[in-house]
Amino acid sequence: MIRSSPHVRNVAVDVNSCVVELEANDAQVNELLNQLVFNKCGVRSFSEKDPSLEDVFMMVTKGLVT
């Protein structure tokens, strides 16, 4: 379900977590969370991850940040 969202850029899943990279505004992120809860996906936490130095470098080189 997460991968079907048009705002999802990447999904990394392991045994205890799912990290989703989004290109979305606050309303679109909220919509995704609402869909997860509505579909009883068992959300225990939902938070924004601070970008690492590597994340920032990749965003700059891809032109996502100026």
Structure-token pair, residue 19? 């990290």
**pLDDT surpasses 70 at 65:** no
CA atoms within 13 A on the CB side of 22: 23
Structure-token pair, residue 2? 């997460």
pLDDT at residue 24, as a whole number: 86
Over the stretch 5-59, which tens digit does the pLDDT of each residue have?
Answer: 888 888 999 888 888 888 888 999 999 999 989 999 888 888 887 878 887 787 7
Residue pair 36/30 in contact by the 8 Å Cβ criterion? no
Residue pair 17/42 in contact by the 8 Å Cβ criterion? no
Separation CA 44–CA 16 (nearest Å): 10
